[in-house]
Amino acid sequence: MNLETTIGALVAKAVETLYGLETKIADIQLQKTKREFEGELTVVIFPFVKAARKSPEQTGREIGEFLQQNNPVISAFNVIKGFLNLSISQKYWLETLNEIHTNSNFGKTPVTDNSELMMIEYSSPNTNKPLHLGHIRNNLLGYSIAEIQKANGWKVVKTNIVNDRGIHICKSMLAWKLFGNGETPQSTGMKGDHLVGKYYVIFDQAYKSEIKELTEKGISEEEAKKSAPLIVAAQQMLFAWENNDPEVRQLWEMMNGWVYAGFDVTYKQLGVDFDKIYYESETYLEGKEKVEEGLENKVLYRREDGSVWADLTADGLDEKLLLRADGTSVYMTQDIGTAKLRYEHYPIKKMVYVVGNEQNYHFQVLSILLDKLGFEWGKSLVHFSYGMVELPEGKMKSREGTVVDADDLMEEMINTARETSQELGKLDNCTPDEIESIAQLVGLGSLKYFMLKVDPRKSMTFNPKESIDFNGNTGPFIQYTHARIKSVLRKAIDQGIEFKSLTSTDLVISEKESYLIQLLTEFPAVVKQAGDEFSPALIANYIYDLVKEFNQFYHDFTILKEENVNIKQFRLVLAESTAAIIKSGMALLGIDVPERM
């Protein structure tokens, strides 16, 4: 039973004993005491004033006296208007620290055979271009949410749907066929996803030139976009692909193979992975089959041109295309097929799509369509909608070649981390291998932390220079603090000091030390809230607050030079527990912390 539950039960007993008022523990309002007041936990007294028939202050005093007399955890109390501030005994905090210190899974709920399964989809790349800055936020959010849900006792399947077919894929294929002169990743030295992305940009440039030529001949821009030879050829290639044309399929397999090899390198560098990968080329037929069923059941309808639509006007939406006039499918068709397969493959309790907020409407439609097509779980799908990420310079566009490439950005972050660390003298005693390892940890840690500390539902501007700073709310500040603590612990071990657990809990500790323990005890509640709200930012900012508080403690108190043996041992246990929670919390964000720096 945690402290809040214990105090809540005691308050419920107090108001029933003193005033004859039966109260549920869940209805008792408890909150952290504000730092300017004495105490750690505050009880809101106003709900009991009517039953007590006394002033809030007198009611608070009577309840405070009852609590202090009936539980040694309460060492003192004070009443400020209608708020009862409780001081928790130092013995309680020290005993709690011992429990935290000896529990390697503190803050986490174990996954058991009976745990329910949550599937989390993230990444969802197209095979016509490399991963970019926007994909980085998506992958980091998806991976972190998965780790947080595992820490909350869910079985988790991390899944990816690769958009490996469609008109955009054909654009890259056609451009390579027309302009590529047989280039390969081996012949150019380019990563495969970069090479294919190059031809996606080339297609767009050539397509725009064709549109310009046609409009100069007096054709309207709208008609020029439809009749330009390149777009017509790309559409013909898509039709040929869907009809299993062997030459088109061979080209598709070769170029997609290049892209997958490139993606694997990026994912590994970023530190994300998947348990199951689905491919649109394998799921869209399942979707088309469900669309045909929907036609038979009159849920969908066919227009004169042969295209298939869903009329969602009765649901407050509009009409949605599901199959084009030539029979080719759209994203929605693929998503229907993928959802069907997933629920056949796994006993999913909750399905979560980590997709940017520009797709809010898409998932609103998907949920309704799945429900109409007879899937019981249609309306229970969760679209985790996150904000877009931009650079200080503004938005990016893939087809215009103005995106920030994920590989280039990670390399830049690692190089900047190395240079910054060397300038600050943090690598002075490191070997070349240690320098590279630290540069990787700090560079990628900076990137991940900066991305994840922001409320995921908000759009954000990523500033590489701001992210690599050894002060403030940044990854390096947290990583350096962890390394600093580990350095102190290594010195203690070298001096033969024992600190596996506290040998005494009858110590006088400072208010700052008590508060630091109190912060440690909040980790499980933060992990739970982060899981409930799908918000890695809650973990990130909690760890920052913990690190900030530890650094103040470290500045104000000695550890290894402390003369009182029991106090020295306590501070080492406190430091090691803090390091453990920093490491555990940062792991939930997919961030490694160095042992030395």
Q: Identify the burial level of 482 via C-beta atoms within 10 angstroms of its C-beta, where 0-12 means exposed, 13-18 middle and 19 or more buried.
A: buried
Confidence of residue 429 (pLDDT cuts 50, 70, 90): confident
Q: Are 430 and 438 in contact (CB under 8 A)?
A: yes
Q: Taking all residues of the chain, what is their mean pLDDT, rounded to a whole number? A: 92
Mean pLDDT, range 559-567, rounded to an integer? 94
Q: Is the pLDDT of residue 121 over 90?
A: yes
User: Count of residues for the chain?
Assistant: 597
Task: Judge contact between 123 and 271, C-beta under 8 A.
Answer: no
Going by the DSSP 8-state scheme, the letter that residue 105 receives in this structure is T
pLDDT in tens, 9-19: 999 999 999 99
5-27 as b/e: b if 16+ CB within 10 A: eebbebbbbbbeebbeeebebee
Which one-letter DSSP state was computed for residue 116?
P
Contacts with 181 (C-beta within 8 Å, 6 or more apart), sequence order? none
**Would you state the pLDDT for residue 397?**
47
Please report the beta strands in 404-548, taking only residues with DSSP state E, as ranges in sequence order: 460-461
Coil, strand or helix at 462:
coil
Tokens of 8: 């809540």
- Report which of 117, 232, 64, 238 is spatially closest to residue 167, judged by C-alpha positions: 238
Identify the pLDDT of residue 1.
55
Mean pLDDT on 178-190: 96
* 557 Rama sector, left if φ>0, alpha if ψ -120 to 50, beta otherwise: beta
Residue 577 confidence (pLDDT) above 50: yes
Q: Please compute the mean of the pLDDT values over residues 135-156 and round it to a whole number.
A: 97
Dihedral, 303, 304, 305, 308 alpha carbons, nearest 10: 20
Domains of the chain, first to last: 3-88 (3.30.1360.70), 122-390 (3.40.50.620), 406-588 (1.10.730.10)
> Above 50 in pLDDT, residue 401?
no
Which residues contact residue 306 at a Cβ distance below 8 angstroms, ignoring those fewer than 6 apart?
A: 325, 326, 327
For residue range 43-85, list pLDDT tens digits in order. 999 999 999 999 999 999 999 999 999 999 999 999 999 999 9
Can you tell me the mean pLDDT for 268-277?
A: 97
Which of 1, 10, 55 is CA-nearest to residue 28?
A: 10
CA distance 535 to 396: 25
Kind and range of the H or E run holding 437: helix 432-452
d(CA 43, CA 50): 16
CA distances from 524 to 252, 531, 539, 575, 581 (A): 48, 11, 10, 18, 10
Helices then strands, counting H and E runs in the chain, come out as 22, 14
At 393, is the pLDDT very low, low, confident or very high (cuts 50, 70, 90)?
Answer: low
pLDDT of 312 above 60: yes
Mean pLDDT of the 545-559 span: 97
Is the predicted pLDDT of residue 319 greater than 90, yes or no? yes
Give the pLDDT confidence score for residue 402 in this predicted structure. Answer: 53
pLDDT computed for residue 472 by the predictor = 86
Q: How many CA atoms lie within 13 A of 267 on its CB side?
A: 18
Q: Find all residues with CB under 8 Å of 490, minimum gap 6, and list them.
A: none
What is the rounded average pLDDT of the residues 245-273?
Answer: 97
CA pair distance 54, 421, nearest whole angstrom: 62
477-483-484-486 Cα dihedral, nearest 10 degrees: 150
Q: For residue range 433-491, list pLDDT tens digits in order.
A: 888 999 999 999 999 999 999 999 999 988 877 888 778 899 999 999 999 999 999 99
Strand-pairing partners, residue 121, are: 159, 353
Q: What is the mean pLDDT of residues 406-416?
A: 91
pLDDT value, residue 124: 93
Joined together, the tokens standing for residue 134 give 């926007």
pLDDT of residue 198: 95
pLDDT mean over 359-387: 91
